[in-house]
Structure 1
Amino acid sequence: MSRLVTFLILFVFWMMLSGMFDAFHLFLGVISCAAVAWFSSHLLFPDGKIGVAGRSVLGMAVYLPWLFWQIVVANVQVARIVLHPRMLELINPKIVRFTTSLKSPFARVTFGQSITLTPGTITINIDNDEFTVYALTDDTAASLPGEMERRVAAALEEERG
């Protein structure tokens, strides 16, 4: 059942991105999505529990608009820095290490990818609950882990006692 749900999610996403609805392209989409679902459905549904993933889908539906806005804001900030006449005074790259409170692997990966998608930061390494992140400025480094970690936890982690 988890493979079927994975296939359906992938195929709907593929159709939205491809925009090709002729028989040839739909056939290629079905074959590609079926192969990916067969080999990797355990990544989306680790225990085969679709209900837990349903909560994750709802959580992501709330989290993604916020993340997209943060990406836009960070793009503007990085563009401002790059176009500033004293750019070299504003940039202070550093490596930041911190421990996350996120417990599930999916939440940790989502958090790491969210950091990387946000301009001015790159997740270098995730080792269990320790993150190593490159930050372009002091302000960016100071904001880690911050609000993003809290929102990922709210979206993907189960309620704690």
Structure 2
Amino acid sequence: MLHVLALSAMLSGFWLINSGHYTPLLLFFMVVSVLFVVTLCHLMDVVDGESQPLNLTFTIPFYYLWLIKEVVVSNIAVARSVWLGVDSISPNVVTVTAHQKTDLGKVIYANSITLTPGTVSIDLQGDQITVHALTRETAASLLEGEMDRRVCRVEG
């Protein structure tokens, strides 16, 4: 039941942020829409701890802010490498260890690597993620483990 309430709150917040209008008619439509979607999801038995992980609700927004900063910094680094030419690019394939406790945490980590320009997660086997990095510096910063530590904090 807690997952249903969390899903309802998330959908309502998403509606309110995207709508920007708070007239009684639109708020009524929001309530009807959210009730319809939550009821449908509940009947389909897709509202559970995996689809709506409550432990991430309060920690992941801060991680997203940090990840956005990393994406911007990486974009600048990749653009710099492109402008400097072939000599500035030194492709590497490295293996990093994921210290997350859950599969969801490992997936968040691997996807975060891929979202960051200049790196792509190639394979995830157990606790090992194989990553292609555009430069040695990118590979070295990934091996430092800051992203891994932050995803572990998100997991709790």
Shorter-chain TM-score above 0.5 = yes
RMSD: 2.9
Q: Which runs of 5+ in 2 are unaligned?
A: none
Shift of 1:5: 1.4
Question: For the Cα contact (< 8 Å) 2:121–2:129, is it kept in 1?
Answer: yes
Q: Match of 1:127? A: 125
Shift of 1:92: 1.7
> Alignment partner of 1:43: what SS?
coil
Q: Match of 2:111? A: 113
Shift of 1:33: 6.3
User: How many positions carry a matched residue from both structures?
Assistant: 147
In 2, Cα distance between equivalents of 1:40 and 1:73: 36
* TM score, norm. by length of structure 2: 0.75
Q: Match of 1:59? A: 59
Shift of 1:100: 1.7
Distance change in 2, residues 1:28/1:122 (3 Å): farther
- Where do 4+ consecutive residues of structure 1 move more than 3 Å? 18-23, 25-38
Deviations 1:14-71 (A, max 9, x none): 553x447658x8589635566557525332456xxx4xx2xx2222132222111111
Matched, 1:41 2:42: no
Q: Match of 2:75? A: 75
Q: Which structure would you say has the larger Rg?
A: 2
- Percent identity between the two aligned chains: 34
* TM score, norm. by length of structure 1: 0.73
